């Protein structure tokens, strides 16, 4: 690959640098998983009387939304919410606050998502603990036992409240699966996401997503808005970076209202996962590598004039070694080595102290 540089070529090369062409569009799998757990009401019958236990993150006794939500740093448990008990001995439904851990410990397939939230993996009778403010007075500890088969979103959780009874609830994980289609310009990905609720095909989310490549292990993304079925709007907030785990990038994303099916703004915290292959097995995932998967690893140079001389940006496969060489003429050229470059990133930028004379540059793979 050859480039020439002379003072009379300055405008041409500056224009070339400023208008870098985006890569062709690529599509990779993507998923959106709620970190809130949806728990349905449960009932017990004692001496012919029916007691109902519901869960609501709003604390309102009417129309509980079933959300066991992610707790903030002031709560010593992973999740919290309100129990709402409807008991014939109480004059009206009573809400009372609780905190509860969900099984967050393992990520056996190293995709960045805890096994409990991964629908492909089972949860086999895992017991966790919590504490609640009893409507009868005081604070009580309690247990929850979670069971869900692999490949399903729904399971059972048995909640044992010492002074109120044992309740067996149905619970569900909320997940949307689909694709991220993107094109790359330098270190930015202009992407469109299209996702479908895995248990309701008519429930869909789609819209733009702007991603910045920090490095091979980290992506940033901008806040924005997506559209949902039935005119729903999903306004989302950039909370954290997407970090690499195996062949996936994953991280937390926040929504003003992540579950429009309820009357309240709720289900705020979700996990975004983007899957990428590594087609050339160089431990740089295709999503962030400048070389388009399936095409040759052809390097590319961009050159611009700076105060100290020339700035040369080298685009290519990260980790590849090259010799940057120059010559004064292409007629029987005498190439001289300027420096050896091992790409630490793409682009990899080097400074060259050159006068205004005509020069030709090339990269030679070592």
Give residue-wise pLDDT tens across range 220-262: 999 999 999 989 999 999 999 999 999 999 999 999 999 998 8
Lowest mean pLDDT of 43-52, 108-117, 236-245, 328-337, name the range.
Answer: 328-337
Could you report the per-residue pLDDT of 170-187, keeping only the tens digit for each?
999 999 999 999 988 888
What's the order of all strands across the beta sheet hosting 321-327?
2-5, 359-365, 321-327, 336-342
d(CA 125, CA 46): 26
66 Cβ neighbours under 8 A, 6+ residues apart: 38, 39, 40, 41, 54, 55, 56
Predicted TM-score of the model (pTM): 0.73
> Measured between alpha carbons, how far is residue 180 from residues 25, 224, 274, 276 in Å?
10, 15, 8, 10
- Own/partner contacts of 60-66, CB < 8 Å, gap of 24 or more, are 60/95, 61/92, 61/93, 61/94, 61/95, 62/93, 63/262, 63/263, 65/259, 65/262, 65/263, 65/264, 65/266, 66/38, 66/39, 66/40, 66/41
Lowest mean pLDDT of 68-77, 247-256, 325-334, name the range.
Answer: 325-334
Q: Which helix (H) or strand (E) holds 11?
A: helix 10-18
Mean pLDDT score, 52-65 = 92
The pLDDT assigned to 15 comes to 32
Lowest mean pLDDT of 28-37, 259-268, 291-300, name the range.
Answer: 291-300
Q: Which helix (H) or strand (E) holds 146?
A: strand 139-148
- Whether the predicted pLDDT of 8 surpasses 50: no
Q: Quick check: 104 and 114 in contact, CB under 8 A?
A: yes
d(CA 27, CA 221): 17
Lowest mean pLDDT of 25-34, 128-137, 322-331, name the range.
Answer: 322-331
Q: What is the dihedral of CA 25, 29, 35, 37, to 10 degrees?
A: 130
Mean pLDDT score, 263-281 = 92
> Measured between alpha carbons, how far is residue 271 from residues 149, 171, 175, 177, 251 in Å?
21, 18, 9, 12, 6
The pLDDT assigned to 354 comes to 65
Q: What is the dihedral of CA 230, 231, 237, 239, to 10 degrees?
A: 10
d(CA 61, CA 54): 9
In the structure, what pLDDT confidence band is assigned to residue 17 with cuts at 50, 70 and 90? very low
Burial 67-103 (b: 16+ CB within 10 A, else e): bbbbbeeeeeebbbbbbbbbbeeeeebebbebbbbbb
The SS3 of residue 231 is helix
In the structure, what pLDDT confidence band is assigned to residue 23 with cuts at 50, 70 and 90? low
Cα of 207 vs its chain's centroid, Å = 15
Could you report the per-residue pLDDT of 126-137, keeping only the tens digit for each?
999 999 998 888
């Amino acid at each position: 690959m050859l480039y020439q540089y002379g003072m009379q070529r300055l405008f041409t090369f500056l224009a070339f640098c400023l208008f870098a062409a985006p890569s062709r569009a690529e599509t990779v799998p993507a998923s959106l998983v709620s970190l809130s757990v949806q728990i349905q009401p449960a009932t017990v019958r004692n001496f012919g009387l029916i007691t109902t236990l519901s869960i609501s993150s709003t604390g309102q006794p009417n129309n509980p939304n079933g959300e066991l939500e992610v707790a903030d740093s002031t709560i010593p448990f992973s999740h919290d919410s309100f129990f709402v008990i409807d008991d014939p001995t109480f004059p009206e439904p009573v809400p009372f606050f609780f905190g509860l851990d969900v099984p967050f410990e393992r990520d056996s397939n190293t995709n960045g998502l805890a096994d409990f939230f991964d629908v492909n993996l089972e949860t086999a009778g895992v017991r966790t603990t919590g504490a609640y403010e009893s409507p009868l007075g005081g604070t009580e500890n309690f247990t929850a036992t979670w069971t869900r088969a692999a490949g399903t979103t729904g399971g059972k959780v048995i909640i044992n409240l010492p002074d109120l009874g044992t309740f067996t609830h149905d619970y569900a994980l909320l997940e949307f699966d689909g694709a991220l289609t993107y094109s790359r310009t330098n270190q930015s990905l202009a992407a469109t996401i299209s996702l479908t609720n895995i248990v309701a095909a008519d429930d869909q989310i789609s819209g733009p997503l702007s991603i910045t490549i920090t490095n091979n292990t980290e992506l940033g993304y901008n806040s924005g808005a997506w559209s949902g079925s039935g005119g729903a709007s999903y306004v989302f907030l950039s909370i954290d970076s997407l970090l690499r785990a195996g062949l996936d990038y994953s991280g937390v994303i926040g929504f003003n209202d992540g579950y429009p099916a309820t009357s309240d703004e709720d289900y705020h915290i979700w996990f975004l996962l983007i899957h990428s292959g590594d087609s050339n097995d160089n431990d740089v995932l295709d999503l962030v590598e400048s070389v388009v998967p399936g095409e040759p690893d052809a390097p590319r140079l961009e050159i611009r004039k700076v105060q100290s001389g020339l700035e040369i940006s080298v685009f290519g496969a990260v980790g590849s070694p090259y010799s940057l060489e120059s010559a004064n003429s292409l007629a029987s050229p005498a190439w001289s080595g300027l420096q050896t470059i091992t790409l630490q990133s793409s682009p990899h930028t080097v400074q060259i102290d050159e006068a205004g004379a005509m020069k030709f540059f090339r990269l030679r793979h070592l």
